[in-house]
Each structure stands twice: as structure tokens, then as C-alpha cells.
Amino acid sequence: MKPILRNLSCAVAISTLSLAMGTVLAEKADSSQSHEGTTEKAYEGAPSTIEASSAKVTLTPGAPPVTEEEFEKAKRIFFERCAGCHGVLRKGATGKALTPDITLKRGTEYLKVFINFGSPAGMPNWGTSGDLTPEEVDLMARYIQHEPPMPPEYGMKEMKATWEVIVPPEQRPTEKMNSYDIQDFFSVTLRDAGKAALIDSDTKEIVTIIDTGYAVHISRLSASGRYLFTIGRDAKINLIDLWMETPDTVAKIKVGMEARSVETSKYKGWEDKYAIAGTYWPPQYVVMDGDTLEPLKIVSTRGLTVDTQEYHPEPRVAAIVASHERPEFIINVKETGKVLLADYSDLDNFKTTMIGAARFLHDGGWDSTKRYFMTAANKSNKIAVIDSKDGTLEALIEVGAIPHPGRGANFVDPEYGPVWATSHLGDASIAVIGTDPVNYPDNAWKVVRSLQGQGGGSLFIKTHPNSTNLYVDTALNPMTNMSQSVAVFDINNLDAGYKVLPIGEWAGVGEGPKRVVQPEYNRFGDEVWFSVWNGKDQTSAIVILDDQTRKLKHVIKDERLVTPTGKFNVYNTVHDRY
């Protein structure tokens, strides 16, 4: 029961694409089409990491009979296929609500048709596609007429039961114990292996493989650049000390049942002091000690939507960034459309500023001055601009279909001055937005250019202060010639359009989907790295280009590179350079 591109709910990221891998996609589609249904189905496809057996059985009087065994099976199907869009509690996330007050009125036969054949509004054809058997279609039609089972809450007691300090701070190195240029390390998600690889940019060799949570969504660095934080979709956080002779985990914790975001304090005087993680379930965030991950304060995000002012029981925490202007974390609350400015200067007297933006807040990044947070409200087709200095909403900007910027891309447009750009999942456009209200006031907070890329299904756009190239992936486009390549624009001649680089072909990995995802620069901006993400049992690779010539420089192949996806350069991540 997951809607396609019209009902996007998963937070970013590349770690949510598991059903896309290994799927044979039709190549005969018209490249000019948005491919909304196909790309969202791929994007939304990963199952929830919530254990279905943990949700309590609740049968509803008047609903069609469901045995206890059937109920357990239906729970599993729902968490694996439906919860990402409709919400764990079926109250509606970016998908429609599926609660008994609605479904009982529809009846079993109507619901069976809907589940079996789908709908033009975005519901996949679960039955006719073969994903569900006729018996399973009938079961799910009966199941969603009962009250949704609620997974258990996850609080301080549960967190502390998983919290482990492997190497206490006083036993850690007092200086860097290895000879690596750790500032130019790449932390690479090995999605299906539940690991992360640390790769040395100089030698292009894997320094170490570290066990992490499942499908690490992001890697974040402490302000000092010493500590690396990873968070898996299963809400497991690793704190990794890069100063050790061989970098390794020094503390870990599980902060919920499903999660996407982690960040550390960066404001002057508060560097490395705190870490924060946001969860999908339960809908909340937790502030932790930056050296040990000890959980200190948990805050729920349940509340009212920004537009209709209706209560939502499951507003998930998406992106979190650390303010450079104040001792604050900036937190996107997805389903309610609110941005929270959480002041961490006094946890006992905790203060939060609530900014109404637009529903379905997802990911985003800073403008070049690091004052304005540019964040996508993806299903609202908007970019919200948050002024972190004044603590206000600066603008809401209409863009293309389902913006998915990653952190976005900052550069100086030859005509419009400083800009920030986002690509889109739902169409081929690239929105270029003016970001300098002082020197270019007429351009500020407006789409000054709408470039046309290869197609829809883009997840990441990237450039670097030392580069004149702008790279755009199309990892979720249904046409393999697009999903296995990237478009690159010359920033000094944007009107000339893009050139296509066949990254998947250059990888030389053989058979497989070979999705090319997330361009990421090295520290100096003279190399750009791409993940060639193949199936779990197929050969994947990292392809490295010389940025100036756009020519192949190196291919990293290693049997340990299992489904590499996100890559995060230490220096660029510390300094929010993109």
C-alpha cells in the first residue's frame, strides 16, 4: 500500500532504495516524461526497520474476521511495503490515511480492487503486478479495516539499555595516532552489509570496514573533524574515533526503531559537546553527550500540521543541521511541516522555536554564507529558506516536482551571483535559486534559472568551491542509460546544457542495475567520486573522475564494497561545503 511519486515519504536518501535494486526497468519509456510513478516506487520501496512482531494485535468490532496468524502476516506485509508512505499508525504520512473510520466504509471488495489494480493517483497495482497473491490482497483488504497495531514506544530506559561506551574518553588518544590525512577520508555506506568503509583519498584504498547499523543513512563529523557519527535506518548510532591507529567505534547506541538523521554541535564554544539524532519511530529526537553518546534529553515531535492544524501522531524527523549562528540544532519535522530551532545551551531549561514552513520537509543544506538553511518540502514542491541568524522563515519558493537536493549545490552564477541549486525526483528540472539578498536583492529567494537535466529520478546534485562543474545524478530514472550515467554542466556556460558521462560503463563491473549515485568531491575539489551501486551479490564500485578534465582517474573495486551508496568526505562535511 505505498503510493508512488505522489505520496513520497521516505527521507532521503539513498538508503531507502532497496526494492529498486535488481529490478529490471523498461528502457522504452520516453525520456521526456517525469517517470513519477516508477521513481517513487523505487524511492519508497525499502521496508520499515520496525519489527512487525513488536506491534500489538488490535482487532476491531464490526471489521471482517482476521485470525491471529493472519494478523501477524498482514502486519509484516504492511511494515515491509506500506508503512513508509501511509505511516506506521496508518494515519497518513505522505500517503492517504487507512484507518478503520475510512476503510470500514469502503468495504472489503472495494479495497481488494484498489489493492489489486492500484489507482491513477499513485497506488501501485500490488495484485496484478504479482507482488501480492490474491489471498494476500484479500488479507490486506480485511486487515486495514482493523485498528492499526502500535509499535512500542522507545524512551530513555530502552536507549540506555543499548548504550555502550567501548573506549571511555580518558582512554582515547590525546593526539592522532595514524599517518593518514583523515581530513580527506571518505565514509562510504555499505548499505546491505550494515557496514561503513573508510577510504583514504590519497591511496584510494579501504583503511577499515566498521560494523554499523543497517543501511547507514548519513555520516556526520564533529566540528573538530575527529569523530565520525553514522546512523542506520534501524536507529543504531556509531561514534568512530578517527585519531586511533585504526579508526574504530568508541561508543554506540540505538535511539529508536527507525531513524534517518544525526548531527553534532558546531557553534563556537560548543564544538563537539552534543550530538543529536532524530527518529521516524517513535517520532522524536534525542540530544546526547558528544563524547560518549549518553542520551540526555528526548523530545517528542507529535503535534499539529502547519496548514490544516490537524493533530498528527507520527511526524517523523528528517534532516537535522547544526547552526553556525547560535547554539541550536535545526530540525525538520516531516509530516507537520515545521522546522524546529532547538537551543542546546541549557538542556534543563530547553527552548525551541517553531517555524511553520510546508508539509513533507525532507533534506537540505546551507547557502554559501551558512546563514540560510535551504530545505526541501518535497511533496509540497517547495524550498523553505530558514534564516538561522534571525530565527525566522525567510521564504517559501515554488520549484519543480519533488525536490531532492541532498545538501544542494552552492556556486556563483555568472549572471545572477551566489545561488543554491536542487534537482528533483519528479521531473528533469534543476532549480537555481538566488541566495544573496545584500548584493543581488532582486534575485534573492527566487528561481533565477530552471535548467533541464537528463530526466527525473535525481537524488543528488553537487559542485565544489574549486570547481566549475555541476554534477547531477539520475539514479532512480527508469531508463538504464540515465540511471547508469550523470549529467554535468559547465557553471560558466549553463545555457550550453549538459554532457553525459557513462559512469556505470566506466566502472566495468559487469551485469547488474549499476545505479550511479551521489557525486562527492574530495577535500581539494580536483576529484569527484561516484558510487556504482549494484545488487547485493553483484560487483559494485567507486568511480573517481579528474574534475578538470572529466576523465576517468581511478576505479575502486573490492569484494567488501557491498552495495556502496552514500559517500561523505570528512573535510567537506565538517565545513558544510557543497
- Residue 479 — φ and ψ, nearest 5°? -90, 125
Secondary structure (3-state) at 422: strand
Kindly name the residue from 35, 86, 217, 312 that is annotated as catalytic.
86
Question: Which is it for strands 486-490 and 469-473: parallel, antiparallel or unpaired?
Answer: antiparallel
Kindly name the residue from 217, 404, 424, 464 that is annotated as catalytic.
404
Question: E-strand spans in 290-371?
Answer: 295-300, 303-304, 311-312, 317-322, 328-333, 338-343, 351-356, 361-366
Q: In 107-151, which residue ranges form alpha helices assigned H by DSSP?
A: 108-117, 134-143
Residues 6+ apart with CB under 8 A from 113: none
The partner residues of 545 in beta bridges, in order of sequence, read 528, 552
Please, are residues 531 and 21 in contact by the beta-carbon 8 Å criterion? no
Instruction: Look at the chain and count its residues.
Output: 578
Question: E-strand spans in 305-426?
Answer: 311-312, 317-322, 328-333, 338-343, 351-356, 361-366, 372-377, 382-387, 392-398, 409-413, 417-422
Kindly name the residue from 362, 374, 464, 479 that is annotated as catalytic.
362
Please, are residues 430 and 450 in contact by the beta-carbon 8 Å criterion? yes
Kindly name the residue from 10, 21, 123, 482 that is annotated as catalytic.
123
The reply to whether 10 belongs to the active site is no
The reply to whether 82 belongs to the active site is yes
Q: In 378-479, which residue ranges form alpha helices assigned H by DSSP?
A: none
The reply to whether 374 belongs to the active site is no
Kindly name the residue from 82, 140, 159, 244 that is annotated as catalytic.
82
C-alpha to C-alpha distances, 367 to 387, 445, 538, nearest whole angstrom: 10, 11, 38
The partner residues of 434 in beta bridges, in order of sequence, read 419, 444
Taking phi over 0 as left and psi of -120 to 50 as alpha, with beta for the rest, 410 belongs to beta
The reply to whether 404 belongs to the active site is yes
Catalytic residues: 82, 85-86, 123, 362, 404
